[in-house]
Chain A
Amino acid sequence: EVQLQQSGPELVKPGASVKMSCKASGYTFTDYYMKWVKQSHGKSLEWIGDINPNNGDTFYNQKFKGKATLTVDKSSSTAYMQLNSLTSEDSAVYYCARGDCWGQGTTLTVSS
Chain B
Amino acid sequence: QIVLTQSPAIMSASPGEKVTLTCSASSSVSSSYLYWYQQKPGSSPKLWIYSTSNLASGVPARFSGSGSGTSYSLTISSMEAEDAASYFCHQWSSYPFTFGSGTKLEIK
Tally of contacts, chain A with chain B, CB under 8 A: 44
**In the complex, which residues 33-84 of chain A have their Cβ closer than 8 Å to any Cβ of chain B?**
35, 37, 42-47, 50, 59, 61-63
Contact of A44 among B41, B92, B95, B99 (CB under 8 A): B99
Q: Is A26 an interface residue (CB 8 A)?
A: no
Interface residues on A, range: 20 to 34
A residues in contact with B37, CB < 8 Å: 45
Report how many residues on chain B are interfacial, defined by Cβ distance under 8 Å. Answer: 20
Contact of A103 among B44, B47, B50, B56 (CB under 8 A): B44
B residues in contact with A44, CB < 8 Å: 88, 99-102
- Cβ-defined contact, A45 with B41, below 8 A: no
Q: Is B46 an interface residue (CB 8 A)?
A: yes
Query: Which residues of B are at the interface with A, using a C-beta cutoff of 8 A?
Result: 35, 37, 41, 44-47, 50, 56, 88, 90, 92, 95-102
In the complex, besides A102-B46, A105-B44, 6 extra interface pairs with C-beta distance below 8 angstroms are A37-B99, A44-B101, A45-B99, A47-B96, A50-B97, A59-B95
